[in-house]
Amino acid sequence: MSAIGHRSSVIGHRIGILGGTLDPIHCGHVGAASAALEALALSQVLVIPSHVPPHRASRPVESAYHRFAMAALAVSTEPGLAVSDLELLTDGPSYTSETLERLHAQGLSAAQIFFITGADAFADIATWKRYPEVLNLAHFVVVSRPGHTLDALDDRLPALADRMRPAGAAAHGASGPLIHLLQAATPDVSSTIVRDRLKRGEPITGLVPPLVEAHILKHRLYQVEQSHGEI
C-alpha cells in the first residue's frame, strides 16, 4: 500500500507517521500511534516498516515481507491507522529525512506531517542524519515510554526546549514545526522482549496484537532454527 494517493486528496489532512524496524510490531507501537491519532486530531497515522534501519548494527531478523504483513495485520482492526510500504520500496538505509521528503513530494507540507517517535529514540535525535534540519520537515510527536519520561528532554536537549509543547497545546509564537510531547500509557514491551520470549518458547499473548501473534505462530517466525532471508 502506498503512502499517499493523489495530491488533491491530502489537502487539509494531518498525517501521522510511525516508522521503525517493527521486527515485530507490538502493542507499544500500536498504542503510541493510537494515542497520537487522538491527542493531535490526526486524519490518519501511517505505520511504515523500515527497509534497512540506519541505527541498527544488524539487519532485521525477519524479512520485509513478514514485517509488512504483521504491520498490516496490526492496524487492520485499528480505526485511523494504515500501513505503508514507502520505505520498503527504496534501497539502502531508511532515513527519516528522506522519508519525510518523499511525503512532501506527494503533496504534504511540513505543517501536515506528524512524525511519531518514542522518548528514548528522540533523546538521541542529535545523532540522526541531517539534524537539526530534519526537525523542519515535520512536526515531531514524542511519546513517553515506560522507563523513559518526557521530563528529562529539556535538560537533554536544551537547544530544542523552545520548540517543545505538551501535545494538543496551542502553538502560540511558533514559526515552524513543533515538538509535541505526548504523555501516554503505552504497554511496557519491546520487539526484543517479544523475540526473546519466542526463542525460549514462551507465550507472547498480550504483547502483540492477536492477528500478529497468529501470523508469527503460523509461520514459526523468530525461531532459532528458522531461516530469515528476504522473501
- What is the reported pLDDT for 168? 81
- Tell whether 205 is covered by a domain: no
- What is the reported pLDDT for 59? 84
The range of the structural domain enclosing residue 46 comes to: 12-191
Q: Please list the pLDDT of the chain residue by residue as tens digits (231 residues).
A: 445 544 445 667 999 999 999 999 999 999 999 999 999 999 999 999 998 877 665 789 999 999 999 999 999 999 999 999 999 998 888 899 999 999 999 999 999 999 999 999 999 999 999 999 999 999 999 999 888 889 989 889 999 999 999 998 776 666 789 999 999 999 999 999 999 999 999 999 999 999 999 999 999 999 875 444 443
- Tell whether 196 is covered by a domain: no
CB 99 within 8 A of CB 137: no
- Tell whether 145 is covered by a domain: yes
- Tell whether 218 is covered by a domain: no
- Tell whether 220 is covered by a domain: no
CATH of the domain at 92: 3.40.50.620
- C-alpha dist (Å) from residue 166 to 61, 151, 170, 198, 200: 36, 11, 9, 37, 40
The whole-angstrom separation of Cα 214 and Cα 74 is 11
- What is the reported pLDDT for 100? 98
- Tell whether 154 is covered by a domain: yes
- Tell whether 72 is covered by a domain: yes
- Tell whether 91 is covered by a domain: yes
The whole-angstrom separation of Cα 231 and Cα 210 is 23
Work out how many domains the chain is built from and give that number: 1
Q: What is the pTM of this model?
A: 0.91
